[in-house]
Structure 1
Amino acid sequence: MNRITSPRFIPLVLSLGIVLGILIGNFYANHYAGNRLSIINTSSNKLNDLLHIIDDQYVDPVNMSDLVEKAMPQILKELDPHSTYVSAKDVEASMQDLKGSFSGIGIQFFIYQDSVRVVRVINGGPSESVGIKAGDRIIGINKKAYIGKNVSIDSTYKLLKGPKDSKIELEIYRPAIQKKLTFSITRNDVPINSVTAAYMADETTGYIKVNSFAETTYSEFLAALANLHRQGFKGLIIDLRGNLGGYLDPAIRMAMEFLPKDRLIVYTQGRRSPRQDYKSDGRGAYQNLPLVVLVDEASASASEIFSGAIQDNDRGTIIGRRTFGKGLVQEPIQFADGSMLRLTIARYYTPSGRCVQKPYSQGDEEQYENDLFLRAEHGEYFYKDSIKTSGKAYKTRLGRKVFGGGGIIPDIFIPRDTIGMTPYFKQAYTLNLLQEFAYVYSDKNRKELMQHQNLNELVNYLDKQNILEQFAWFGSSNGLKRRNLMLKKSQKLFTRFIYGNIIDNIMDEQSAIQYDNLSDPAMLEAIKILHQGSAFPKLTRTEGKFILGFQQTDKHIALICSRIFKLPYYATESTNPKNYKRNIQKNA
């Protein structure tokens, strides 16, 4: 027997063959490709290989962690406008508004002339307990001077916030006594209210302003409803203008308060996310309460879920302007280093089956962000006929036509109020002089202004102080050339903005909102609708000069009329999503 074929030499022969094959393969790969890109072309993870190659072969040293942090957002931009990456250091700040509280010292401040001015001390907060007062100037933090050009909103937030139970030392200048004071403050939880106003607009009309949908929103909303109930409200206005959304759950729970049992509120569905329906449980205490919802172009996400549920179920009247158009659902995914990915996993659909997500092109973030400006160019904020949507038509429960593919279109359109707008006012607003003057005036006259605790009393007092003339002098001394004709033309706008800021400084945000609503066109229209008893939508059809209208609750009459005039009517409510969809298609 030949020795080389002996069984004990077989492993050696195989090993030599494998090594020789690798050497030959590498030779030809380097010879023909000239680099290691051929490895990437056969890899299932090009990104990982790319990072290894950069780390191994790039001409200069590279901070790989920093490179990854910068690359993550760019990759997600290629998916959709709402899939985002949040670095570990920014996660807490990004979640703060949705948690309903943060750890800090409990003040509201304003930066003026390179120093931090305390506008309001939050009741029950850490600063109130040690004696900080509105009007105080922060001139030092932790034994270091804090005044001058380097003072900014961002830097002030970072210095004043901190872990719960941690301490901070503030040096304060108090103009009222012209003395410097030092305070040691222990940081604690400071609430962030998402319901920023709840009051009786008149003897029968309640009003609730919801600023965001956070963890505490639903409980705040219930407390506001209970308070209005004690005051005897007969109709309700829910203001979602400027509400960019937040969590899905509080929007669903709020809708449940107004809908009968088994009404579809919203459903979500995605490629890897099976359809999930969210329906009312029938336990809401205000199922028959007349309801109006105010929206605008800054109402997004959860705001659109709530208003879409009310509109599609013909439960109330939507007033305002077309909403933002965000119909994508993000799931937060935490990384080991504390950073977070918010990945779009589904779309949400209103009860009629429409998705309100406005069109977007993958990777074209600029076009998406410019949508609101394009609406202005097309005249959409001023003329209802200028509203453009790319989606098809759907039907509400009564058969009213609604559209998808670009936000919620209100039942009653309210154009932007531009009466009295002049270049002089625009410049004053852009330069932030309105807010600055309001603060300076409030600070200078705080003692006198604080004597007027009632909103009407404070407004009457301001009416006698020739505020507009004082602002004109303030503006001219801060680079705003006085223009008497424009000042007169914009008188109502100036008064509204300046008074609102003064009221906010001296009283609170709710009082400022209440004052602003006194002359707000959408608010006035909402009150009129409630007083007329027409908050519940009606289906109308014009045939010649005859107009047919019936209430949502008049089911028997509606059924008869639908047979006579062939109007769509949904006589049944199916708890089965498939049957529900089939009923819509059949009656459309």
Structure 2
Amino acid sequence: MSTHKNSNRAVRLPLYIAITLCVGVLIGANMAGSTSTPTSDFMKGLNKFRQVLTHIENDYVDEVDSEELVESAISNMLEELDPHTSYIPAKELELIQSRLEGNYEGIGVEFNIFKDTIHVVTPLSGGPSEKLGIRAGDKIVKVDGENVAGVGMTNQKVVEMLRGPGGSEVTVSIKRDGEDELINFTIERDVIPQYSVDVSYMVDDEIGYIKVARFANSTYLEFKEALLKLKDQGMKKLVIDLTGNPGGYLNRAVQIADEVLAGRQMIVYTDGKEKRYAEEHYSGEKGDFETGSLVIMMDEGSASASEIVAGAVQDHDRGLIVGRRSFGKGLVQLPIDLNDGSELRLTISRYYTPSGRSIQKMYKSGDLDEYYLEAYNRFENGEVYSSDSIKFNDSLVYKTDKGRIVYGGGGITPDYFVPLDTAQNTRYLNRLFNTNSLQEYTVLYAQENREELAEMGFETFRASFDVTDKMLKELVDVATDNGLKFNEKEFNRSKRLLRQLTKAYIARGIWDNEGFYPIFNEQDEIFQQAIQLMDEADQIAKR
């Protein structure tokens, strides 16, 4: 959570101190089973808080928003505890919860903003927009009569305008190619399911692949469905892709780990100051992939629940972890509802893998920038490019069930390190993404050639479609229009990779993730290494 800066430190500093005590009482009042009573110091602190806030409200030279002062003070105070204890204002809570609950209420479109215009990338299957006939390529120019084109709209603002309670209505005015007049759609908002398993498909006759984007409420059921589908297609070996997965619900991670671990084996345990927060989680249910080669893909963006699954698989020698060291988020938060609809997420324990490794990386209280930038600093210190740059803590040595050495100190270190490929990755290529140029070009290309590409079919497209030099020139022109200066040297260095990425994103515009990932993974170095290590993963499981 970012720090809210305010030049008037004389006003805020006493608030920080006083609100620390106030929130302590709120926590005690909301924690199940709490029997502690406030001390006299507590009551003095609460009285001081009341006095300070009253004086500011009544006597301060300018008008102040007391609620804003309190919320700012709470956020700053919590930053002094640990990086994951946080306060979520009521107005932000619904959006955050919807990502974990697996659904939200809205009109059901995936959109992007190109040249200050909202483009419908795709109407979501089964959603109200699809049912009314809104199409990929439509441009939303008005919402409830308010102009939204060319006025500097942000993604967050568009979400706020289009989302709303189920049953409510919103009118969008659409500009559609080939139509002279705007088309108005009055859309009744509805529950829009969000999926956390991005894709599952057979890589070859034996190897299945499942991409898990986060651990939300529906993740286990989605994973189970994907697993059974792949088994019906003959899967004997499995790749679970957790790269970039920030985590989510603990119980969903436990359920997925249980699908691949046989018998009763510990998956994760927690330990905290209070005994009631010390828990152990074991496998036990009959899983659908307890034997067979297993590889887990992860990287510096894999955190929390992702690390629980990977740690359990690694400690029990069930399969191989391939990629780069994970983020290192092993603090457990308890969500506590506050009276105004906001939420306090209080760290109450730590995660440990079955061998006893703490997942949490080191942190310095009050320095959130250093903590969150650590993952980016791995690019600076060379860790993402060479395993020799990974710093192990020799005092935190652990062993797997079969005696392999693993290290504590935060995050999960892979069994097989895969360096980030720098041969084709250039600043110009990255800027094509940062300026939205690659996305803009591929979305528009897919829209303009939709009928022809759809008739071709994905397998034919994958085998025979080539991104031509003419298409790359068109992409460069789009980037130039977006303010990106052409760099011929870097363009030529990235050219082969750029062809592959352009093809993958065009496929996404026609066949969604089922088209994107099979092509994208052809150039993904972690995926390619995972496939090559399947036989070794099988040997580990059989030892």
| Same-fold status (TM-score > 0.5) | yes
CA distance in 2, matches of 1:394, 1:301: 20
1:206 maps to 2:189: no
Q: How does 1:497-508 map to 2 (within 5 A)?
A: 497-508=501-512
Which residue number corresponds to residue 401 of structure 1?
405
Closer, same or farther in 2 for the Cα pair 1:456/1:47, shift >3 Å? farther
Per mean C-alpha deviation after superposition, the further-off stretch among 78-87 and 384-393 is 384-393
Assess if the C-alpha contact under 8 Å between 1:207 and 1:237 holds in 2.
yes
Q: Aligned pair 1:278/2:281, yes or no?
A: yes
* 2: CA distance, partners of 1:416 / 1:45: 55
Structure 1 unmatched runs, 5+: 1-36, 539-551, 555-588
Aligned to 2:229: 227
Residue number in structure 1 paired with 2:255: 253
C-alpha separation between the residues in 2 aligned to 1:517 and 1:409?
Answer: 22
Compared CA separation, residues 376 and 485, structure 1 to 2 (3 A) = closer
Aligned residues: 501
Question: Can you list the C-alpha shifts for 1:477-534, whole angstroms capped at 9, x where unaligned?
Answer: 433333433322210222133222222222202321111111222212211222xx22
**Equivalence for 2:415:** 411
SS at match of 2:112: strand
User: Is the Cα–Cα contact under 8 Å of residues 439 and 502 in structure 1 kept in the other structure?
Assistant: yes
CA contact (8 A) 2:266 2:282 kept: yes
1:428 aligns with 2:426: no
> Are 1:266 and 2:268 counterparts?
yes
Q: Give the structure 2 partner of residue 510 of structure 1.
A: 514
Matched letter for residue 48 of structure 1: L
2: CA distance, partners of 1:89 / 1:457: 45
- The residue number in structure 2 matching 1:383 is 386
Q: Contact between 1:453 and 1:507, CA under 8 Å: does it hold in 2?
A: no
Give a deviation string over 1:520-567, Cα, whole Å, max 9, x none.
22212211222xx221464xxxxxxxxxxxxx545xxxxxxxxxxxxx
8 Å Cα contact 2:435-2:482 kept in structure 1: no
What is the TM-score when the length of structure 2 is the normalising length?
0.88
Q: How does 1:25-104 map to 2 (within 5 A)?
A: 43-45=41-43, 47-58=45-56, 59-60=59-60, 61-104=63-106
Aligned residues of 1:314 and 1:537 also touching (Cα < 8 A) = no
> In structure 2, what is the equivalent of residue 495 of structure 1?
499
Q: 1:440 aligns with which of 444, 452, 472?
A: 444
1:237-252 aligned at under 5 Å gives the runs 237-252=239-254
Among the aligned pairs, what percent are the same residue?
39
Instruction: Return the offset for 1:418.
Output: 1.5
Structure 1 343/171 Cα, relative in aligned 2: closer, same or farther at 3 Å?
A: same
Change in CA separation of 1:553 and 1:433 when aligned onto 2, cut-off 3 Å: closer
Worse-matched range after superposition: 243-252 or 372-381:
372-381
What is the alpha-carbon distance in structure 1 between the residues aligned to residue 298 and residue 429 of structure 2? 25
- 1:218-263 deviations in whole A, cap 9, x for unaligned? 0000100110011001100000000000000111001111112110
| Structure 1 residues 481 and 90: alpha-carbon distance in aligned structure 2, compared to 1, 3 A threshold | closer
Distance 1:302 1:46, change over 3 A: farther
Match of 1:217 in 2: 219
Q: Tell me if structure 2 keeps the 8 A contact 1:141–1:169.
A: yes
CA deviation map 1:267-286 (0-9, x unaligned): 11100144311111141122
C-alpha deviation, 1:383, in angstroms: 0.5
2: CA distance between counterparts of 1:386 and 1:147?
A: 48
1:187-586 aligned at under 5 Å gives the runs 187-274=189-276, 275-390=278-393, 392-457=396-461, 460-464=464-468, 466-530=470-534, 533-536=535-538, 538=540, 553-554=542-543
Does structure 2 retain, via aligned residues, the 8 Å contact 1:205–1:236? yes
Partner of 1:583: none
Q: Relative to structure 1, is the Cα distance of residues 553 and 455 closer, same or farther in structure 2, using a 3 angstrom cutoff?
A: closer
Letter in 2 for 1:136: D
Q: Are the aligned partners of 2:137 and 2:444 in contact in 1 as well (CA < 8 Å)? A: no
Which segment is superposed worse, 270-279 or 257-266? 270-279
Between structure 1 and structure 2, the one with the greater Rg is 1
- Helix, strand or coil for the counterpart of 2:104? strand
- Aligned AA (2:209): Y
Contact 1:82/1:344 (8 A) holds in 2: yes
Deviations 1:317-361 (A, max 9, x none): 000000000111001000121100110000011000110110011
Q: Which amino acid aligns with 1:342?
A: R
SS of corresponding position for 1:336: coil
